[in-house]
Amino acid sequence: MKWQPIETAPRDGTNILVLMEGVVIEAAWQGNGYWVVSSVSSHGCGCCGSDNEEPTHWMPLPAAPSH
């Protein structure tokens, strides 16, 4: 898996990894210009509020382990 430009990220609510302010987090596009953080409830980047920071890159979530 390689990091891809955020402009190519899925905008259908799929959870993905995003790079935002140098931090990798799990998020999904909510619409209306907002990314919703899935992996943490509060991380301080502002992406859940009105001053939304746009992630710069994304990649798919890795597959879960089989065992």
SS3 of residue 43 by DSSP: coil
Q: What is the mean pLDDT of residues 22-51?
A: 72
Say what the pLDDT of residue 37 is. Answer: 83
- For 17-33, how does the pLDDT look when each residue is reduced to its tens digit (9 = 90+)? 999 888 899 999 998 88
More confidently predicted of 37 and 59:
59
Are 55 and 38 spatial neighbours (Cβ–Cβ below 8 Å)?
no
Q: How confident is the model at residue 49 (pLDDT cuts 50, 70, 90)?
A: very low
Residue boundaries of the structural domains of the chain: 4-60
Q: Residue 56 carries which side chain, given as an amino acid letter?
A: T
| Residue-wise burial string across 5-38, b where 16 or more C-beta atoms lie within 10 A, e elsewhere | ebeebeeeeeebbbebeeeebebbbeeeeebebe
Tokens of 15: 């959870």
